[in-house]
């Protein structure tokens, strides 16, 4: 099976999406598939991709010029022509904006789309223009797909996607447990909490983490992915915002952390369920985690996850529960044996089996 993996992603190795894409492609290649990756980016990150991709994975990148629409269409067309010249059996694409340059793919190769979010709700958070652009063009891309892979039940069963008739499967985000050491438990005198996320994504709830830090000045909070300049007001003394870090740079912070904090404001984009990449990574490190939504990997809950209500005031009204959870889990780790279902190896077997199903039709 020849799989062409097409995606628009401009960020480098410090991001969860980058790590997920690399893990997927490498798993497919190690399973015997021929894999080519075609990346469209506003920044030249080719060296970062090639440093971690399996040597068997063919890689090409087209760097487009942001803000120059005509040049972008030309460059997207160039990327699509390279993709088709590789003669794949199917194309796997992280669902993004529709581009007319992708029309030749619809006519020649089965297309499977990976759905990671409710695009309409997310676009509405950005701008009215973006919302209407997505609303008016999304049917052309989704309607041509031969299959859909969703990271949660809620997304694929919701009204924005369920009307499309393509075969669909839910495969929650996972993590390659072989690449993550189970960290030894820390021996902190006070609780250390860590949060990964960008302020640019309001549904992450970084502002709620800051509120929590203000209520608990005796605790320490480390923010990864957010810098002090990202906030309108000075941060509390017990908060350290490290900015963007590579995994080798933030692993020492994870080693000292007692508890991790996941997404807390998914309600801001009208969702209640997902499988956040950062939570899978927290789990791989063995960190008990606080979240504010239902995680697709843990639909029945877990003792090492504190699931807050998915509401604007979830942190405020759950302050005693948070304190109890953190106190109970200080100095403890979650064994890998309890999260084997989060391992990406099994998830990629499911994905490849779905590809075979699509190609057999």
- Does pLDDT of 34 surpass 90? yes
Helix (H, G, I), strand (E, B) or coil at 98: coil
pLDDT of residue 152: 93
pLDDT of residue 113: 95
How far apart CA 287 and CA 222 sit, in angstroms, is 14
- Does pLDDT of 304 surpass 90? yes
Query: What percent of the chain has pLDDT above 90?
Result: 67
pLDDT of residue 159: 87
What are the C-alpha distances in Å from 264 to residues 19, 62, 120, 291, 315?
22, 35, 20, 6, 8
Q: How confident is the model at residue 41 (pLDDT cuts 50, 70, 90)?
A: confident
- Does pLDDT of 298 surpass 70? yes
Helix (H, G, I), strand (E, B) or coil at 63: strand
How far apart CA 203 and CA 291 sit, in angstroms, is 12
Same domain, 194 and 128: no
> Is the distance from CB of 285 to CB of 256 less than 8 angstroms?
no
297 contacts: CB under 8 Å, gap ≥ 6? 172, 173, 174, 275, 279, 280, 339, 341, 342
- Lowest mean pLDDT: which of 1-15, 181-195, 236-250, 313-327? 1-15
pLDDT of residue 137: 86
Same domain, 213 and 170: no
Same domain, 6 and 132: yes
Give the pLDDT confidence of 333-349 residue by residue, as tens digits. 999 999 999 999 999 99
Same domain, 164 and 292: no
85 contacts: CB under 8 Å, gap ≥ 6? none
State which of 42-46, 141-145, 291-295 shows the largest mean pLDDT.
291-295
32 contacts: CB under 8 Å, gap ≥ 6? none
Q: How confident is the model at residue 135 (pLDDT cuts 50, 70, 90)?
A: confident
> Is the distance from CB of 138 to CB of 173 less than 8 angstroms?
no
Mean pLDDT of the chain: 91
The domain total for the chain is 2
How far apart CA 63 and CA 65 sit, in angstroms, is 7
Q: Write out the two tokens for 32.
A: 């015997």
Same domain, 148 and 196: no
How far apart CA 279 and CA 194 sit, in angstroms, is 11
Please, which contacts does 154-163 make with residues 24 or more away whose CB atoms are closer than 8 Å? 154/271, 154/272, 154/273, 154/274, 155/115, 155/117, 155/118, 155/271, 155/273, 155/274, 156/115, 158/118, 160/118, 160/119, 160/120, 160/121, 161/115, 161/118
pLDDT of residue 66: 65
Give the pLDDT confidence of 181-216 residue by residue, as tens digits. 889 999 999 999 999 998 888 999 999 999 999 999
Same domain, 79 and 165: yes
> Is the distance from CB of 174 to CB of 294 less than 8 angstroms?
no
pLDDT of residue 69: 62
Q: How confident is the model at residue 289 (pLDDT cuts 50, 70, 90)?
A: very high
Same domain, 219 and 297: yes
Helix (H, G, I), strand (E, B) or coil at 299: coil
How far apart CA 318 and CA 299 sit, in angstroms, is 20
Same domain, 315 and 350: no
Helix ranges (H only) for 109-167 are: 119-126, 128-142, 153-157
How far apart CA 249 and CA 182 sit, in angstroms, is 17
- Does pLDDT of 70 surpass 80? no
How far apart CA 260 and CA 192 sit, in angstroms, is 9
More confidently predicted of 75 and 234: 234
Give the pLDDT confidence of 81-109 residue by residue, as tens digits. 899 999 999 999 998 877 888 888 888 99
Same domain, 95 and 203: no
pLDDT of residue 114: 95
Give mean pLDDT, residues 123-145. Answer: 87
Give mean pLDDT, residues 287-312. Answer: 96
Same domain, 124 and 205: no
Q: For helices 319-329 and 206-215, what crossing angle results, to 10°?
A: 80
Same domain, 162 and 181: no
Q: How confident is the model at residue 125 (pLDDT cuts 50, 70, 90)?
A: confident
Supply the range of the domain harboring residue 195.
Answer: 177-341
Q: The CATH number of the domain where 307 resides is what?
A: 3.40.50.2000
Same domain, 30 and 152: yes
Taking the model in full, what pTM does it have? 0.86
Classify each residue of 328-343 as buried b or exposed e, where b means 16 or more C-beta atoms within 10 Å of its C-beta. ebbeebbebeebeebb
């Amino acid at each position: 099976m020849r799989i062409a993996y097409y995606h628009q992603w401009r960020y480098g190795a410090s991001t969860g999406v980058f790590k997920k894409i690399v893990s997927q492609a490498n798993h497919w290649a190690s399973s015997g598939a021929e894999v080519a990756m075609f990346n469209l980016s506003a920044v030249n990150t080719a060296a970062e991709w090639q440093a971690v991709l399996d040597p068997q994975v063919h890689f090409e990148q087209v760097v487009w010029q942001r803000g120059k629409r005509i040049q972008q269409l030309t460059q997207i067309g160039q990327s699509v022509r390279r993709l088709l010249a590789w003669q794949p059996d199917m194309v796997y694409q992280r669902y993004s904006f529709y581009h007319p340059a992708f029309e030749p793919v619809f006519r020649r190769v089965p297309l499977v789309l990976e759905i990671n979010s409710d695009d309409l709700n997310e676009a509405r958070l950005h701008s009215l223009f973006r919302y209407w652009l997505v609303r008016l063009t999304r049917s052309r891309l989704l309607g041509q797909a031969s299959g859909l892979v969703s990271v949660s039940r809620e997304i694929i069963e919701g009204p924005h996607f369920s009307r499309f008739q393509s075969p669909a499967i839910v495969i929650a985000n996972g993590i390659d447990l072989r690449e993550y050491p189970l960290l030894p438990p820390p021996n902190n005198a006070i609780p250390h909490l860590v949060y990964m996320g960008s302020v640019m994504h309001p549904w992450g709830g970084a502002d709620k983490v800051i509120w929590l830090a203000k209520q608990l000045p005796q605790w320490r909070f480390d923010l990864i992915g957010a810098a002090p300049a990202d906030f309108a007001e000075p941060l509390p003394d017990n908060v350290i915002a490290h900015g963007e870090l590579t995994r080798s740079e933030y692993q020492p912070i994870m080693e000292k952390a007692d508890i991790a904090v996941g997404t807390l404001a998914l309600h801001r984009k009208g969702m209640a369920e997902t499988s956040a990449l950062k939570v899978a990574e927290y789990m791989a490190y063995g960190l008990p985690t606080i979240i504010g939504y239902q995680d697709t990997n843990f639909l029945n809950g877990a003792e090492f996850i504190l699931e807050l209500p998915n509401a604007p005031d979830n942190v405020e009204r759950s302050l005693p529960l948070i304190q109890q959870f953190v106190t109970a889990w200080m100095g403890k780790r979650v064994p890998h044996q309890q999260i084997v279902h989060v391992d990406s190896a099994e998830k990629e077997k499911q994905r490849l089996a779905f590809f075979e199903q699509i190609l057999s039709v």
